[in-house]
Each structure stands twice: as C-alpha cells, then as structure tokens.
Homo-oligomer: A and B are copies of this chain.
C-alpha cells in the first residue's frame, strides 16, 4: 500500500454542484459559501462558470461572485470557461485559473455541446492561446470516463486519447469524470493504468459521482493507483441530471472522512466544512447529501 501522503481536494460545489441544483441562489449566498469553504481550508475552489445565463441560469452572476469573495492567499479560485468569450469574461473578473471540458463519449459530446469530441477540442485552441498569453493555468475535464448515459461502456483507450489531447494542448492537470457514477473499483484501476500511459499520473485527478454508491470505493482504488487530486462537492451538491432524485457528485465531507481515516493530509477542517455544507443546504431547502454530515448533525 503506497498511499499518497497528502491529497488536494478540488471543491466543485459552487460550480458543478449549484449548476445542477434546480433552484438558482443569490450572489450573496454564493459568496458566503465560497468564503466559508475558504475558511474550512479548501485550497482549490471552483467558484463559477462563464457561460451564457440563457443556458445555465444557475451560473448567472459569476463575475459578481468573484468580485464579492474574500480571496485568501494560497487558495486558487477557478472558473469553468467553455470558450474564448467565457475566458475573456473570466479574465476580466480576475479569475486565477480556468477549466475546459471534453467528453470521452461521442454521443455525449454531440448531445451535450452539439459537436464531435475532435471539434470540441479544436474550439479550445484560441482559449488555450489566450490563457498562455495571460499566464492563466488551464485544467481539463474529461466526462463519461467510466460510462455514458447514451453509449454505455466507454473504451479506456478513448479516455486516454482525450486526456492526452488536453494535456498536449496545455492543460496542466486532467480530471477524469465518472459523470454517471457507474464506475466500480476494478474498472477505475484499469482506467487509471490505461490513461497513465498517455498522461503522467501525478497530472491526473479523479472526479467521481456517487449515484450508485461507488465513489469512495473508486477513490480508494485511485489512491492505491497513486492519484492524489480529487474533485468533490460540499454536501454532495448537484444531484444527478441523468437520474432524478439520485446522488451526483461525491460529498467532500465523505471523501475527507476517508482521507482522515487513512492518515492523509488535506489541511481541511471537518467541522467548518460540515457547517458550510449544512448552511447551503438550508438555503436550497434540501437534505444534506453527505452521510458524514448527516451522521454528525444527528448525534
């Protein structure tokens, strides 16, 4: 067992989480959430998305959120930017780091962003050039790495190919997303072994959904494969757009509990994290999606 000594958690609740909650919330509530997550010790927070509010009303006001948060030293405040226009808006909002996304599934790419995988990568070229010129780091997401809602099984070689492209274009890290949560531990290990032949594993991150309850087992399997960066969402914000009422992003609290039990350092304060998650759930009027939070708060 060669587990990493420390792990960086990428908090995606304010973006990936809130984007998939039906109810849009106010800029003030988003700012409060990000500030509470900063205070809890998260070192990387995806704050918002620079995308047309016509398509994603939940992400309206991301520039105002960036203007409102109390930026702390040592913490990266990032945004998702699907194209050059979004990147320019992000730059104006003093975003320090951005993320782009591609799918490992052709059907998903077509249905989600209306173009092929190759076309979607091509569209990032001007963004990548602008980011390089502005010295802004770009993180890459690959979705559907362990299954697609339309295509079913996905070939790990296909995932490796998309990850390699993103890395070659200049993404300093590639996050492998099990968008529909159908991955299991053995497939996760095999996927990482396959992708790591194209992109060094210290540049890979795991992004697991808990829709089928497998996320923590997959994260443990990833840790055993030497992965030390994981995306998660406080209070499990987000749900699953492909199975209404089901779980989506793995809850940050539950990942932290696993890591603490393994003696792996994250720098995160569990109590403050649980408080931040519970508060945003109260704003949204929904049950807390973290099992750790539910257990702790019910004692």
Contacts and interface: CB of A to CB of B under 8 A. Distances in A.
Contact of A295 (B212, B220, B295): B212
A181 interface: yes
Interface stretch (A48-56, A80-88, A161-169, A239-247): A239-247
A186 B262 contact: yes
A257 B186 CA distance: 12
A262 B184 CA distance: 7
Interface in A69-118: none
Nearest to A290: B213
A98 to B, nearest CB: 31
A212 B254 contact: yes
A3 interface: yes
Contacts of A213: 210, 216, 251, 254, 257-258, 290-292
Q: How many protomers of this protein does the assembly include?
A: 2
Most buried by B among A186, A211, A258, A261: A261
B243 A210 contact: no
Interface residues of A, number: 42
B187 A295 contact: no
Given A185-B220, A186-B3, A257-B212, A294 B246 contact: yes
Contacts of A1: 186, 189
B247 A294 contact: yes
Contacts of A245: 294, 298
Interface of A: 1, 3, 181, 183-187, 189, 210-214, 216-217, 219-221, 240, 242-247, 251, 254, 257-258, 260-263, 290-292, 294-296, 298-299
